[in-house]
Amino acid sequence: MSKVGIHLLTWTPTLDDHAVDLFRKAKDMGFDGVEIFLPDPLNIKFAFVRKLRAELDRLGLECTGSAGLQRNENLVDDDPEIRKRGMAYLKRFIDISADLRVEILAGVLYGTFEMSVGRPRTEEEWNRAVQLLQEAADYAKEKNVVLGLEVINRYETYFLNTAADGTRLAREIGRDNVKVHLDTYHMNIEEKDFYHPIVETGSYLGHMHCCANDRGVPGSGNIDWDQVFKGLAEIKYRGWLTIETFVSHLEGVPVASSVWRPLAKDADEVPRKGCEFIRAKAKEYGL
């Protein structure tokens, strides 16, 4: 059975003792686990990571991880020093994920998370991504970490915008611990529908964010959830169904999220109602 998760960015952009307090909230709402956003990996202490894992174990919660590289850690940059720093950051993310025992480390792991560079990706950038992510995947394999390459919209990256892009990259990397991460919020912008991209991604699909088109309550808005779950059922998807939302603007969340108004009456409405909706759809489609 697929598991339903909640991204901690729902409530906080930081990874500190307050985040630990949110585990109980997620458990009480009925989630199977939490998605933990990893900020600057060089400032995360492993003793704290072990504390997080101990609390998850105490509550019977599982977890996934999410991370992203910034302009100065870009794996596909022309500057070899920036690429070197990017690989060091990514390996540190992998080390932290191994200690957390995440089921998948997902996000923008292939390049820079930024609004635009004013052009499409280049062949040179693509080849760098393939080569360096092969290295990262081999490193992650030794630590039992699966990498999920998130496909996001054109306003947030120029590099991977469609499920076809993500599937091609994962296929060319050619490692069994490299998967595609899809998000219905981004799909609503870039794809023609929801069913076909999911089915065509097939066994490469390793992680799923289930989000409303405005990042409000899943089940509201214009996402065609029957297409989403029909596609997931057809490929026999058994990964996470995780809600990612930003109920209001949070300091430290990338500007590209662009949430400037409340999307619900409070920070708990989206996860509470969303969990009920996602579980009902998963049950309806046998996930």
- Give the Cβ contact number of residue 77 at 10 Å: 20
- The span from the CA of 41 to the CA of 200, in Å, is 34
Position 161 pLDDT exceeds 60: yes
Q: What's the chain's average pLDDT?
A: 92
Strand 62-69 with 178-183, pairing: unpaired
Q: What is the DSSP letter of 194?
A: S
State residue 267's pLDDT score: 78
Query: Which percentage of the chain shows pLDDT scores above 70?
Result: 93
The answer to whether the pTM exceeds 0.75 is yes
CATH number of residue 124's parent domain: 3.20.20.150
For the ranges 10-19, 237-246, 262-271, the one whose mean pLDDT is highest:
237-246
Rounded Cα distance between 243 and 210, Å, is 5
State yes or no: pLDDT of 130 exceeds 90.
yes
Q: Determine the average pLDDT of the residues in 139-160.
A: 96
pLDDT in tens, 176-219: 999 999 999 999 999 999 999 999 999 999 999 999 998 889 99
Mean pLDDT computed over 56-67: 97
pLDDT at position 260 is 64
Return the pLDDT at 262: 67
Query: How many structural domains compose the chain?
Result: 1
Residue 253 has pLDDT above 60, yes or no: no
**% of the chain residues with pLDDT over 90:** 79
Q: What local confidence, expressed as pLDDT, does residue 247 receive?
A: 58
Give the pLDDT confidence score for residue 112 in this predicted structure. 77
Distance CA 151, CA 166 (A): 6
Rounded Cα–Cα distance for residues 3 and 5 (Å):
7
Please name which of 266, 282, 269, 225 lies closest in space to residue 6, comparing C-alpha atoms: 269
Q: What pLDDT sits at residue 136?
A: 98
pLDDT at 251 (0 to 100): 56
Which pLDDT score, from 0 to 100, does residue 169 have?
98
Mean pLDDT of 267-278: 94
Helix %, strand %, coil % of the chain (to 5):
45, 15, 35
Helix (H, G, I), strand (E, B) or coil at 42: helix
Confidence band of 250 (pLDDT split at 50, 70, 90): low
Q: Quick check: 261 pLDDT over 70? A: no
The total of other beta-carbon atoms located within 10 Å of residue 171's CB is 12
Q: Report strand pairing: 62-69 vs 3-7.
A: unpaired
SS3 86: helix
Residue 146 belongs to domain spanning: 3-284
Q: Which residue has the tokens 């490193």?
A: 139
Q: What is the mean pLDDT of residues 32-45?
A: 93
E strands, 10-57, in order: 33-37
Distance, in Å, from the CA atom of 44 to the CA atom of 62, rounded to the nearest integer, reads 20
